[in-house]
């Protein structure tokens, strides 16, 4: 059985998980939502604290939604969020070897997952394998960190961008996954005629931008990002403290702007299609 070899560099500090818990179907899967039917059986790969998963459950009240993640602690938060909802369940799963039979799900989705894994093509193959031929949809959304843009400019934030790239790569991932997502899908056997590729962006201004800046001021010194930077000799504690101050200072500025572009793929699994090996 395949197991994940890359390390998730963000870790699961509260500053990370609380940011993930703000994500919704509206801001993270709007391109997929119109394709979800009320009776669909949906798999949310790398579901984290479950906020997107719960949005899927609302869209498929007569179906079933399964959220899977490799980390038990975030699944505890997801289960708490779900409460007594009957059409949602969560499980600890390594996406490299999904424990489901072929053709199980109507919709298979992952959000900001493939940038953190060693074999994104293999995981896309697994996602395709468990989707139903003729009716199934496989979708993914991945950011491109090198395409991030912000105002006002800041040498400290530039340094953050450099260290983010370095720590993601040394952890075994690809921080600019968005620009590779379409190619990964084609390598996984997704036929071009059944594959749609789009780009959308989170755009933060005003209070939301301040929240983003203060969140990264915290993450720069307390999350897994900081641990990887120091453990791998990419930067010092002084570097991280300076980056944290730069984020905090940035968050006090007027007319803030921060954009996070992500590439999206939506693949309709054809009826007569053998899963690639």
Separation between Cα atoms, residue 140 and residue 62, nearest integer Å: 23
Q: Could you give all domains of the chain from N- to C-terminal order, each with its CATH number?
A: 14-268 (3.40.50.150)
pLDDT at 12: 66
**Using alpha carbons only, what angle is made at residue 218 by residues 149 and 69, rounded to the nearest 5 degrees?**
85
User: Are 102 and 92 contacting, i.e. CB atoms less than 8 angstroms apart?
Assistant: no
Instruction: Give the H/E segment covering residue 90.
Output: strand 88-92
Residues 6 or more apart whose CB falls under 8 angstroms from that of 115 comprise 142, 143, 168, 173, 174, 175, 176, 177
Residue 49 confidence (pLDDT) above 80 = yes
Provide, rounded to the nearest whole percent, the portion of the chain with pLDDT above 90: 89
Over residues 127-137, the mean pLDDT reads: 96
Angle between helices 224-231 and 206-222 (to 10 degrees): 40
Among 10-24, 51-65, 110-124, the minimum mean pLDDT is found in 10-24
Confidence of residue 1 (pLDDT cuts 50, 70, 90): very low
Q: What are phi and psi of 197, to 5 degrees?
A: -125, 130
- Predicted TM-score (pTM) of the model is 0.93
Residues 6 or more apart whose CB falls under 8 angstroms from that of 189 comprise 125, 128, 275, 276
Which residue, 193, 173, 192, is CA-closest to 183? 192
Instruction: Give the H/E segment covering residue 110.
Output: strand 107-111
Question: pLDDT tens for residues 71-116?
Answer: 998 999 999 999 999 999 999 999 999 999 999 999 999 999 999 9
Question: pLDDT tens for residues 167-218?
Answer: 999 999 999 999 999 999 999 999 999 999 999 999 999 999 999 999 999 9
* Token couple for 163: 């260290």
Confidence of residue 276 (pLDDT cuts 50, 70, 90): low
Residue with tokens 């693949």: 267
CB atoms < 10 A from the CB of 204, how many? 18
Over residues 49-65, the mean pLDDT reads: 97
Separation between Cα atoms, residue 265 and residue 164, nearest integer Å: 24
């Amino acid at each position: 059985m395949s197991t994940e070899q890359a390390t998730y560099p963000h870790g699961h500090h509260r500053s990370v998980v609380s940011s993930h818990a703000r994500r919704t179907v509206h801001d993270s899967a709007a391109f997929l939502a119109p394709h979800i039917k009320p009776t669909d059986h949906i798999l949310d790969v790398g579901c984290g604290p479950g906020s997107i998963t719960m949005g899927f459950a609302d869209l498929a009240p007569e179906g079933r939604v399964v959220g899977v993640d490799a980390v038990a602690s975030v699944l505890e938060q997801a289960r708490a969020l779900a409460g007594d909802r009957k059409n949602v369940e969560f499980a600890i799963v390594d996406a490299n070897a999904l424990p489901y039979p072929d053709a199980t799900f109507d919709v298979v989705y992952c959000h900001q997952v493939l940038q953190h894994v060693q074999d994104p093509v293999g995981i896309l193959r697994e996602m395709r394998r468990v989707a139903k031929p003729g009716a199934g949809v496989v979708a993914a959304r991945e950011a491109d960190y090198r395409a991030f843009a912000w105002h006002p400019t800041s040498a400290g934030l530039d340094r953050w961008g450099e260290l983010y790239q370095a720590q993601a790569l040394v952890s075994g991932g690809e921080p600019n996954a968005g620009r590779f997502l379409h190619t990964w899908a084609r390598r996984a056997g997704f036929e071009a005629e059944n594959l749609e590729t789009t780009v959308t962006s989170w755009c933060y201004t005003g209070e939301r931008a301040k929240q983003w800046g203060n969140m990264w001021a915290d993450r720069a010194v307390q999350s897994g990002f900081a641990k990887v930077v120091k453990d791998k000799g990419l930067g010092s504690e002084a570097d991280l403290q300076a980056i944290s101050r730069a984020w905090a200072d940035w968050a006090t500025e007027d007319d803030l702007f921060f954009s996070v572009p992500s590439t999206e793929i939506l693949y309709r699994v054809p009826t007569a299609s053998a899963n690639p090996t």
